[in-house]
Structure 1
């Protein structure tokens, strides 16, 4: 008769996933791994495994999923084979052309990123480079550049 009473108690609890017999002989709701019992003691809520530090290996970022988590490559890295094992390796933005350097700049790959440097006959931050003219000062060139942006329509590339 005890088994029948336990089953009836379990049904009356209306647990989301099922129930189990607790230590003192009472019945309580049960949650699958990756979930925990909500405050109402009937439904289950997701556990955010990404709150824990160092859940993922180096160069990977934790993304929480319902009941679990995945480790994905950080920005600037791609999944690939390194010495026979699958790891996140540096993405060479200079090689793939996914950089945002000026066409008047050199792209220099770094671990997880890249640097843009204007060519010797140009100046700027590497993303925008202006021609360097010996007879003009930088201030005059900057003024002329700003003036040209006002008078010419902006062309957006797709």
Structure 2
């Protein structure tokens, strides 16, 4: 079509204007195939269903199914991240013990200082020590335990004796109990 100082291209029915705005390409009629997301014309002129990147054609040759990029032979995320599959793609999220933050000029997963943020489970009688990706707990001076549970040294021996007595009474050898 002629326009003042230029022209404009239109295509005949069954064709669509290509990206160069001058060429007409055959528009595939997918209605007969009942494709889920679209179709393409093959080299021999035959129509076939098409799936976008991240999806693959299902065995029914009409629908698209997800490709799990997280299950591939090579890791797609860094060692401080874990891969989560999404429909048609994936995302990398920080592993527990790491938080998203700046490192140099890039955004990455960096160590979370659980001791500083209070995101730990240490006893109130324990010292929290940050480690890369985690933390450890140490009972303070007059306390003993695993760091998550700390008892006064005297209290623990009394508690321990009490539980030993209870276990002994429940066992078959009651006559040997104190």
Query: Could you say which TM-score interval applies, normalised by the shorter chain?
Result: 0.7 to 0.9
For residues 7 and 16 of structure 1, the distance between their equivalents in structure 2, rounded to whole angstroms, comes to 14
* 1:120 is aligned to 2:120: no
For residues 17 and 82 of structure 1, the distance between their equivalents in structure 2, rounded to whole angstroms, comes to 40
For residues 128 and 163 of structure 2, the distance between their equivalents in structure 1, rounded to whole angstroms, comes to 23
For residues 87 and 7 of structure 1, the distance between their equivalents in structure 2, rounded to whole angstroms, comes to 44
Asked if structure 2 preserves the Cα contact closer than 8 Å seen for 1:6 and 1:27, the reply is no
The C-alpha deviation readout for 1:75-103, integer Å capped at 9, x for no partner, is 00001111222111100000011100000
For residues 105 and 146 of structure 1, the distance between their equivalents in structure 2, rounded to whole angstroms, comes to 25
For residues 83 and 6 of structure 1, the distance between their equivalents in structure 2, rounded to whole angstroms, comes to 50
Higher helix proportion? 1
Counterpart in the other structure of 2:32: 12
Q: How does 1:1-158 map to 2 (within 5 A)?
A: 7-8=28-29, 10-52=30-72, 53-133=74-154, 139-144=157-162
Count of residues in correspondence between the two structures = 141
For residues 31 and 41 of structure 1, the distance between their equivalents in structure 2, rounded to whole angstroms, comes to 10
The alignment partner of 1:94 has SS state of helix
Over aligned residues, Cα RMSD in angstroms? 2.4
The C-alpha deviation readout for 1:7-66, integer Å capped at 9, x for no partner, is 45x321111111111233321100111111111100111111111231012301111111
Asked if structure 2 preserves the Cα contact closer than 8 Å seen for 1:77 and 1:89, the reply is yes
TM (normalized to structure 2)? 0.71
Unpaired segments of 5 or more residues in structure 1?
148-158
Asked if structure 1 preserves the Cα contact closer than 8 Å seen for 2:28 and 2:40, the reply is no
**Relative contact order (C-alpha < 8 Å, sep 6+): which is higher?**
1
Unpaired segments of 5 or more residues in structure 2?
1-13, 16-25, 166-178
